[in-house]
């Protein structure tokens, strides 16, 4: 089992683990095959809407599963999910890339603190 993604299942309507098995994505409770959503646009949109409204972790499941079950490139799939959410008034979280300067500053600050503590310990 490689997945730790949970989603409200269109088959059993429970929020369950979604597991990749043999190239398909299935509900661990009822074995619903998420690949069937490719050919059923109304069911796919109902599933997307339910999960997008459920919060950030379910939104991540929608973004990932939409891409893998439809076999779309990452950017195209993400754009489609964001546009779908916007049409339904759902604001998805927007990530801000962290500046590499923040990491450098944290590293330098940590090293300064470490050497200060070590120096204080040896001076006594």
Within-domain flag for 118: no
Within-domain flag for 20: yes
Within-domain flag for 46: yes
pTM tops 0.85, yes or no: no
What does the pLDDT look like over 75-116, one tens digit per residue? 898 899 999 999 999 988 776 655 667 667 777 888 888 888
> What is the model's pLDDT at position 106?
77
Within-domain flag for 115: no
Within-domain flag for 105: no
Is the model more confident about 53 or about 105?
53
3-class state of residue 25 by DSSP: strand
> What is the model's pLDDT at position 4?
72
Token pair 């603190």 in the structure block, residue: 113
Token pair 């990530």 in the structure block, residue: 95
> What is the model's pLDDT at position 110?
80
Range of the domain at 50: 5-87
Contact assessment for residue 57 and residue 64, using Cβ atoms and an 8 Å cutoff: no
- DSSP label of 38: S
Q: Could you give phi then psi for residue 8, rounded to 5 degrees?
A: -70, 120
> What is the model's pLDDT at position 95?
65
């Amino acid at each position: 089992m490689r997945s730790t993604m949970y989603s409200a299942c269109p088959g059993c309507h429970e929020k369950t683990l979604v597991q990749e098995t043999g190239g398909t994505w299935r509900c661990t409770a009822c074995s619903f095959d998420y690949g069937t959503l490719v050919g059923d646009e109304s069911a796919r949109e109902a599933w997307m809407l339910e999960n997008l409204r459920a919060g950030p972790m379910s939104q991540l499941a929608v973004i990932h599963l939409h891409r893998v079950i439809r076999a779309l490139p990452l950017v195209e799939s993400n754009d489609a999910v964001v546009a779908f959410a916007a049409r339904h008034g759902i604001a998805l979280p927007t990530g801000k890339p962290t500046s590499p300067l923040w990491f450098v500053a944290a590293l330098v600050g940590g090293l300064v603190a470490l050497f200060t503590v070590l120096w204080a310990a040896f001076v006594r």
